[in-house]
């Protein structure tokens, strides 16, 4: 585990939380991204600085994906999204983090990835107000879903 | 496992291989996507029709991500890419498949995701000719890396 806690000066996710901190554990943290187009957008950040998923050993990969799957589960249970998108890219910040994003047929980019071209303007109500629950309730549900791992 | 082998009429990944078949097992297959911009682009497709990663039970999730990690490992060992990108989106084809893509600082979209705006034209040599090994060698390495799981 020593290597997994490595911190790299200048790495944005080593030096900053990276978003709204929802829950933090020894090996991982979950943050919520502030994004007006995609309000139900979480990131599972590995606390230690590793660039690639395969840099983790098997047990750490399993833990990491268990966290990802539980966040996905909360999004599905509370929001009934059209789809959940998962991604570990890290081209800009090569510190392992998983995007977990609830997507809806009405959202600004669907069915494009959130990084693709905008498909439409989402008028009133705003995206966050179209969710079945508030972000506070959603954050609480994420915390509860991860309580036994944190 | 019965539910995991469910096939849905009209689903592109139930009815078609989805690309160049590299290796196939009972529960998963690996295909290579023919993409001139991103020649080292594989997909790990779950054979049964499930939409979301969380639809798999814990053992199946572990198996799925072991396959993803091994494909990633081959890309890193053979190509030394700048980064590997992993993603399970499925907005267009909601049948679980993981994109595993070797990315290079010189590629057409880096550091943008492959779904984002093009950053540059890649002149000669073409992307595929910039890889350290041919696609045949790469496919063989993927098969070897997965031989004991297939």
What pLDDT, in 10s, does the model give residues B79-132? Answer: 999 999 999 999 999 999 999 999 999 999 999 999 999 999 999 999 999 999
Note whether B75 contacts A: Cβ–Cβ < 8 A.
no
B62 to chain A: which residues are within 8 Å by CB?
62, 65
Averaged pLDDT, A130-148: 98
Q: Dump pLDDT digits (tens) for A61-106.
A: 999 999 999 999 999 999 999 999 999 999 999 999 999 999 999 9
Quick check: B110 and A91 CB within 8 A?
Answer: yes
Q: Dump pLDDT digits (tens) for A38-68.
A: 999 999 999 999 999 999 999 999 999 999 9
Quick check: B89 and A69 CB within 8 A?
Answer: no
Q: Which two tokens stand for residue B2?
A: 């019965």
Provide the whole-model pTM: 0.96
- The neighbouring-strand residues paired with A32 are A20, A42
pLDDT at site B6: 80
Higher pLDDT, B104 or A5: B104
Q: How far apart are CA B11 and CA B120, in angstroms?
A: 34
Alpha carbon B19 to its chain's center: 10
Q: Is residue A141 predicted with pLDDT exceeding 80?
A: yes
Instruction: Chain A: give the shortest CA distance to residue B37, in Å.
Output: 16
């Amino acid at each position: 585990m020593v290597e997994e806690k490595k911190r790299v000066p200048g790495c944005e996710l080593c030096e900053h939380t990276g978003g709204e901190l929802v829950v933090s554990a020894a090996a991982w943290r979950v943050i919520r991204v502030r994004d007006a187009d995609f309000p139900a957008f979480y990131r599972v950040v590995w606390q230690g600085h590793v660039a690639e998923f395969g840099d983790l050993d098997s047990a750490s990969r399993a833990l990491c994906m268990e966290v990802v799957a539980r966040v996905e589960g909360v999004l599905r249970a509370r929001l009934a999204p059209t789809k959940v998108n998962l991604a570990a890219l890290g081209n800009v910040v090569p510190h392992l983090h998983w995007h977990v994003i609830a997507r809806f047929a009405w959202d600004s980019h669907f069915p494009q990835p959130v990084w693709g071209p905008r498909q439409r303007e989402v008028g009133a109500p705003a995206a966050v107000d179209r969710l079945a629950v508030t972000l506070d309730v959603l954050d609480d549900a994420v915390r509860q879903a991860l309580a036994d791992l944190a």
